[in-house]
């Protein structure tokens, strides 16, 4: 296998939070995959001012030493680099859509889902509608804009239609709590979902990996929730911040999350539903879905998270490791799917 020139697309033109989140995952990936006989890595780093940098590493020092350039110059530079494949590490909406589309225009293949699929998955209501049409169970819900009045009787979960990491999510138990919860959610998006609260049995994620024309269900990851103490997950369960302002992973331990024993009967049931979701949304290479399992064992689709940074702490990487698929093999599989090998 010849050495592949892989460009890591990192950062965010949207805000500092997504820029730091992207850098966190990409750094983890770059530190873990170091086989220079297989890969030559380059970095394109975009900041909220829409400037591009091509630093030697993602350390703050190297980024600061690298000259920022506008999009036009960045495109000129990229087209001279003989890039074989791009690895998307951007998690903001523009990064998952517009910036991926740029590489379609440049005719540079990239791992992961296409901009149109990413846009659908990022809009929770649209993703729900599509998987529901494929006969996947979804909680009853309604999409609200500013000034709309909810009609669903609590308990409900209120969430911004397009934010991740549980930003702006609230469990509403009484009608009197609606106003404050809606105000909080509208801080993150112009549309909000009010969704029937599914009584808790369990909450899991399921990853799907495409390989040689087959969809492989990966081991489930389960999250610490409790009907009384913690009926839903929130932002601090997923990400936290150091005193220096750096983000770090909060959920990546076996206290807040763990891999479900593959012999658990829920595994096959969820994997079958997840494959339906993958196909209904038109996913490629890999996909990731969140499910609520009610007390009767019925999976309910919550949302899709169609990204993987190929960092050891990425959910799909953790699931693959539990299935006996090392990180390097996971990346090679995705590269082969992308390049049609």
Residue 11: its pLDDT value, please?
A: 98
User: What is the Cα–Cα distance from 334 to 152, expressed in whole angstroms?
Assistant: 42
Residue 88, token pair as written in the block: 């998307």
Give the pLDDT of residue 200: 82
- Both tokens of residue 81? 């680099």
Determine the pLDDT at residue 163: 75
| Contact predicate 206/291, CB 8 Å | yes
- pLDDT tens string, the chain, 341 residues long: the values are 689 999 999 999 999 999 999 999 999 999 999 888 899 999 999 999 999 999 999 999 999 999 999 999 999 999 999 999 999 999 999 999 999 999 999 999 999 999 999 999 999 999 999 999 999 999 999 999 999 999 999 999 999 998 766 788 999 999 999 999 999 999 999 999 999 999 888 999 999 999 999 999 999 999 888 665 666 666 444 445 555 555 445 545 556 789 999 999 999 999 999 999 999 999 999 999 999 999 999 999 999 999 899 999 899 999 999 999 999 999 999 999 999 97
Q: Of 279, 301, 275, 300, whose CA–CA distance to 216 is shortest?
A: 275
pLDDT of residue 249: 52
Q: How far apart are CA 120 and CA 125, in angstroms?
A: 9
The CB density around residue 219, as the number of other CB atoms within 10 Å, is 21
- pLDDT value of position 255: 66
Task: Return the closest-CA partner of residue 206 out of 188, 216, 186, 220.
Answer: 220
Domain 141-196 classified CATH 3.40.50.10490? no
Q: Is 118 helix (H, G, I), strand (E, B) or coil?
A: helix
Reading the block at residue 108, the tokens are 């540079």
H or E segment and range at residue 75: helix 71-78
Q: What is the pLDDT of residues 174-214, one digit of tens each?
A: 999 999 999 999 999 999 999 999 988 899 999 999 999 99
- CATH number for the 4-112 domain, one of 3.40.449.10, 3.40.50.1110, 3.40.50.1100, 3.40.50.20? 3.40.50.20
- pLDDT on residue 225: 80
Query: CATH number of the domain at 119-136+199-306, please?
Result: 3.30.470.20
What pLDDT sits at residue 235?
47
Give the residue extent of every domain in the chain: 4-112, 119-136+199-306, 141-196
Is the entire prediction scored with pTM above 0.85?
yes
List b or e across 15-38, with b for residues whose CB sees 16 or more CB atoms inside 10 angstroms.
eebbbbbbbbbbbbbbebbeeeeb
């Amino acid at each position: 296998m010849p050495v592949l020139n892989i460009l890591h697309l990192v950062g965010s033109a949207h805000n500092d939070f997504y820029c730091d989140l992207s850098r966190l995952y990409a750094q983890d990936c770059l530190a873990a995959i170091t086989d220079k006989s297989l890969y030559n890595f380059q970095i394109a780093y975009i900041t909220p001012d829409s400037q591009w940098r091509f630093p030697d590493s993602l350390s703050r020092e190297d980024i600061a030493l690298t000259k920022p350039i506008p999009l036009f110059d960045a495109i000129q530079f990229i087209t001279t680099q003989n890039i074989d494949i791009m690895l998307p590490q951007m998690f903001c909406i523009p990064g998952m859509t517009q910036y991926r589309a740029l590489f379609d225009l440049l005719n540079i293949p990239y791992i992961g889902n296409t901009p149109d699929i990413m846009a659908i998955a990022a809009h929770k209501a649209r993703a729900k509608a599509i998987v529901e049409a494929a006969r996947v169970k979804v909680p009853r819900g309604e999409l609200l804009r500013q000034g709309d009045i909810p009609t669903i009787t609590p308990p409900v979960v209120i969430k911004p239609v397009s934010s991740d990491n549980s930003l702006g999510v609230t469990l509403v138990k009484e009608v009197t709590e609606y106003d404050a919860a809606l105000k909080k959610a509208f801080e993150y998006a112009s549309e909000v979902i009010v969704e029937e609260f599914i009584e808790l049995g369990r909450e899991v994620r399921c990853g799907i990996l495409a390989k040689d024309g087959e969809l492989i269900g990966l081991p489930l990851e389960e999250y610490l929730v409790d009907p009384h103490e913690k009926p839903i997950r929130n932002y601090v369960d997923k990400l936290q911040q150091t005193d220096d302002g750096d983000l770090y992973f909060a959920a990546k331990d076996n206290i807040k999350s763990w891999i479900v024993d593959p012999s658990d009967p829920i595994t096959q049931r969820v994997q079958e539903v997840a494959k339906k979701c993958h196909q209904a949304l038109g996913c490629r290479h890999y996909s990731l879905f969140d499910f609520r399992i009610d007390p009767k064992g019925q999976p309910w689709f919550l949302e899709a998270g169609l990204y993987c940074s190929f960092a050891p702490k990425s959910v799909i990487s953790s699931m693959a490791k539990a299935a006996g698929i090392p990180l390097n093999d996971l990346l090679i599989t995705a590269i082969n799917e992308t390049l049609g090998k």
